[in-house]
Amino acid sequence: MLDFWDAEKLVKLKSGLNLPPTYIFCMNFNNDGSLLAVAGGFDDNRVFLIDTKTFQVVKTLPGHDSWVKAVIWNSTGTKLYSGGNDSKLIMWNMDSAYPEVTLVNNANSEDYVFYNKDGNYKTTRSGFKNVAFRSGLTLFPFEQFDIKFNRPDLILKSLGSENTELIELYHKAYQKRLQSLGLKESEMIRSFYIPQIKTSALPYTVKEKEVIIKLWHWILFIN
């Protein structure tokens, strides 16, 4: 339970606010004191936002996979950052109560991966081994979608970076990659559609009757 006190008058304002029964490790007020972020070792590792006028939980933020050890607001109170034992640092969108950008750090090395709500990512050179995409219960290595989602320029924009020169440099590098593959940025549809081929006998055939993306060539590996 969480109690609220008036620090000047030493008067209890609210007692017994029920939160999941566990440990509270951190809390932090936003810029005008209207919201209090509370986090800790809750059963589902959520961050709780409490209205300091009504003393009620107004939002919960699920996204961590282990105990949350730190929460801090930006200077305007529009973004909240949380860090936990899961090696995640999350920047939360207060409107959607959803992670805007997540940083995952490899505790055993200097590798890291940034990814945003749209699936775009930025990673260290060795960090690619920690990147995969999931469609249903099927995992695909990063190479399958790298040309679409490896977008450091969009990660910097999501983080609110004001370094427009660096963002433009990353964007030009992305356009250069597309050009080398004969692709255009307008052709980069957001889809996890994976055409499947039947290889029981050669020549192989596409399993689906309709292919919704234009295919220039196949690369087929046979063990």
Give the start-to-end residue ranges of the domains of the chain. 1-105, 131-190
Instruction: Specify the pLDDT at position 186.
Output: 77
**For residue range 72-125, what is the model confidence (pLDDT) as tens digits?**
999 988 899 999 999 999 999 888 888 999 999 876 778 899 999 998 999 988
**For residue range 127-167, what is the model confidence (pLDDT) as tens digits?**
877 778 877 787 877 777 888 899 999 999 999 999 999 99
Residue 180 φ then ψ, to 5°: -65, -25
**For residue range 165-208, what is the model confidence (pLDDT) as tens digits?**
999 999 999 999 999 988 888 777 655 556 666 655 555 555 55
| Whole-number average pLDDT of the chain | 83
Q: Is the pLDDT of residue 37 over 70?
A: yes
* CATH value of 1-105 in 2.130.10.10, 3.20.20.70, 3.30.56.10, 3.20.20.140: 2.130.10.10
For residue 34, the 8-state DSSP code is: S
Tell me the residue ranges of DSSP E strands in the chain: 2-6, 11-17, 24-29, 35-40, 47-51, 56-61, 68-73, 79-84, 88-93, 98-105, 112-116, 121-123, 132-135, 138-141, 197-198, 205-206
